[in-house]
Structure 1
Amino acid sequence: MDHSLGEQLIEALPLLLMMISTGLAGGILAGLLGVGGGIVIVPVMEVALGLVGVDPAIRMHVAVATSLSTIMVTSVSSAKAHHRKGAIDLDVTRLWAAPILIGSAAGVVVASQVSSGVLSLVFGGIAALVTLKMILPLDGKHITSAVPRGIVGMVPPAFVGLFSSMMGIGGGTLSVPAMTLMGQPIHRAVGTASLFGLLISVPATIGFILTGWGDPRLPAGSLGFVNAIGFLVITPATWVAAPWGAKLAHAMTPRHLSIAFGCFLAIVAARMLYRAALTL
């Protein structure tokens, strides 16, 4: 070996600190915005993987899959915090559960067949569209007064599951604006979205493990496209920090919460679209 174990640990320390910081930020945003933390974890982890020399062709796949694995834990912590405040709509959850699960599984199949540049484009493009919805003064403007039922009502959650699993997010980025357009109050939409993170992340994580299994380009400690090291470092931090974000969310006005969500997404969208432009 060229380096001693101590030297290897010292070299890995900045990456570990970045992962911990990512987990804390992701946890706070999970509780604050109902986004499962993935909207932070994916872009930051993609950069971190680049620093350690992971092949650009699979970098986004690993970031997306690992993010989804952490959301399995984060969403439980965040959902429990929102449930204590009575902010989860169980009727909407029952209506949307099956379409979200099906969409999530389909998203993994699509993501495993496309390039990292395409995943970056999807991530950035959708984040930019949602940014407009959250920043523009559209409070009180709805497509419907209630969440629709029947076949038509299954389309929005199916797309939430599909694109969320492709982006490595817990679904809040898409389901929060979707639910607010259907007459749901922002705090209730955020709380309900935190539970959707579990429905999206479990099947998607399993799918990414299977589709990436045995790829020789994977970094050390990977189970398929899911990097176990990233999961073990980020997950505890997100679990601890998610209730902090939930507490902060209920201390903010609906308008301030929407603006905070939109401003953050604008930064993320710009970064991912820039990356897509460089790789496509």
Structure 2
Amino acid sequence: MQPLMPPLADLLPFIAALLAAGVLAGLLAGLFGIGGGAILVPIFFHVFGLLGISDGVRMHLALGTSLAIIVPTSIRSFMAHRKKNAGAVDIDLLKGWIIAVPLGTMIAAVVAAWSSSTELRIIFAVISLLLALRMIFNRASWQLGDDLPKNPVKFLVGTGIGILSGLMGIGGGVMNNTFMTLYGRSIHQAVATSSGVGVLISLPGLIGYVWGGWGEPGLPPFSTGYINWMAVALLIPVTLLMAPYGARLAHALSKRQLEFGFALFLVGISIQFFLSVFA
């Protein structure tokens, strides 16, 4: 069992590694305009590995901790969008997904609890690769309809977004943006609504990953289930501090360049995870 308060000398490498991860995640999140989950998970996975955390729990820990960090950032983002333009967020869609998305996220937490680290890495790599291909070959003219589909299709899509996002430790923005724009909604409304989707994913995701990892051996200090609170406390302020610097760099690039750059980042992460499993 881990001591309640490990010696400071043992904690310093852990703190330093997490701070460095926060700097990188903040810069990349600001550069690509992403909430951070797809960036934080692979960074956490490698940092936890360098710190000697058991391979059996570090992917689970990376996913759960990422979702915990998304909770305050998604709530803050949602409130900001509502304050700036109350009509920008599709409240009807969020109300329609108030069961569907959390249900999918809780299903993901159960799947993660019963999955091995290897299986979770494969899942993350496959979904990342599919998202990257969508970004690379995306065309603004692609559209499946003039308005969002009705239930049960809409409910199933919300559940699917919850499942995939929960298994990737992300807020679901990329998936919801794709869904809404394919059905005639503007990217601005899609982005604003995605902040609310992030709330519906991250809160039940946090609860699910705490439950899934409760009492699991091999977890680092200050962990509750698959959530490491030291990482949460350190990463939130550091990523918020560094994101504006990445955003400044983003202004020098076009939207297509940013989208293509993030797609290449996801491809690189997918390759790394596939190699870690099969090499």
- TM-score, normalized by the shorter chain, greater than 0.5: yes
**Corresponding residue of 2:182:** 181
1:16 aligned to 10, 15, 18, which one?
18
The one-letter code of the counterpart of 1:14 is A
**Corresponding residue of 1:118:** 119
For 1:22-101, list aligned pairs within 5 A: 22-25=24-27, 28=30, 32-33=33-34, 36-86=35-85, 87-101=88-102
Query: Is 1:223–2:224 an aligned residue pair?
Result: yes
**Corresponding residue of 2:141:** 140
Distance verdict in 2 for CA 1:75–1:29, change over 3 Å: farther
Q: Match of 1:112, SS?
A: helix
The one-letter code of the counterpart of 1:196 is V
**Corresponding residue of 1:109:** 110
Partners of 1:195 and 1:251 in 2: CA distance: 29
The one-character-per-residue Cα deviations of 1:201-228 (angstroms, maximum 9, x if unpaired) are 1111111111211112111111011111
Q: Identical aligned pairs, as a percentage? A: 35
Moved more, 61-70 or 92-101: 92-101
Deviation at 1:167, TM superposition (A): 1.2
Partners of 2:150 and 2:244 in 1: CA distance: 32
Deviation at 1:5, TM superposition (A): 5.5
Partners of 1:85 and 1:187 in 2: CA distance: 12
Partners of 1:151 and 1:139 in 2: CA distance: 26
Distance verdict in 2 for CA 1:248–1:14, change over 3 Å: closer
**Corresponding residue of 2:267:** 266
Counterpart contact for 1:139–1:255, Cα < 8 Å: no
The one-character-per-residue Cα deviations of 1:224-258 (angstroms, maximum 9, x if unpaired) are 11111111111223445667888998998654554
The one-character-per-residue Cα deviations of 1:52-83 (angstroms, maximum 9, x if unpaired) are 11110111000000111000011123333444
Deviation at 1:88, TM superposition (A): 2.6
The one-character-per-residue Cα deviations of 1:127-184 (angstroms, maximum 9, x if unpaired) are 1111111121421111222211111111111111011111111111322222222222
Partners of 2:90 and 2:259 in 1: CA distance: 19
For 1:181-260, list aligned pairs within 5 A: 181-240=182-241, 255-256=256-257, 258-260=259-261
Q: Match of 1:146, SS?
A: coil
Distance verdict in 2 for CA 1:193–1:29, change over 3 Å: farther
Partners of 2:186 and 2:250 in 1: CA distance: 13
Counterpart contact for 2:29–2:36, Cα < 8 Å: yes
Q: Match of 1:150, SS?
A: coil
The one-character-per-residue Cα deviations of 1:15-64 (angstroms, maximum 9, x if unpaired) are 1332331452465368x23xx31101100000000011111011100000
What's the TM-score, normalizing by structure 1? 0.85
Partners of 2:244 and 2:101 in 1: CA distance: 24
Moved more, 249-258 or 133-142: 249-258
Q: Indicate the RMSD between aligned Cα atoms, in angstroms.
A: 2.9
Counterpart contact for 2:57–2:117, Cα < 8 Å: yes
Partners of 2:43 and 2:69 in 1: CA distance: 14
What are the ranges of 5 or more consecutive residues in structure 2 without an aligned counterpart?
A: 1-5
Partners of 1:231 and 1:206 in 2: CA distance: 15
